[in-house]
Amino acid sequence: MEIAGLRLGMTEAEARAALRALDPALRITPVMGVSNYSDGVNPILKTAEFLDRLEGSKGHQGASFTVYFSGPAGEVRVIGISRRAMMPNRHHSDGDFT
């Protein structure tokens, strides 16, 4: 499955390249994450920071993308893709929508 050149299993570099190829003007923002865990003694431990997702957007119009990554262990890979697009509101002259 592919969405705008993005595929599950891609590396961060491949995902960034796909977003740039789609639209060089897209603003790509990395969002980092940590996971909480317990080892049985210490109730609140945190993993090292890892890439949680890339958010690609262009102003308030057009499509925006969120590319989710695996983590926190090993090389992060794309595990999910979300695409949102603004659709023009089309009205018929009689006011009904179809």
One digit per residue, the tens of pLDDT, for the chain of length 98 reads: 788 899 999 999 999 999 999 989 899 999 999 989 888 898 889 988 999 999 998 866 666 899 999 988 888 999 999 988 766 666 555 544 44
Q: Which amino acid belongs to residue 29?
A: T
Q: Which of 23, 7, 10 is nearest to 56 (CA)?
A: 23
Contact 72, 50 (CB under 8 A): yes
Q: What is the distance between the alpha carbons of residues 26 and 42, in angstroms, rounded to a whole number?
A: 42
Q: Which amino acid belongs to residue 18?
A: A
Please report, for the chain, the start and end positions of each structural domain, with discontinuous segments joined by +.
2-84
pTM above 0.85, yes or no: no
Q: Is 41 helix (H, G, I), strand (E, B) or coil?
A: coil
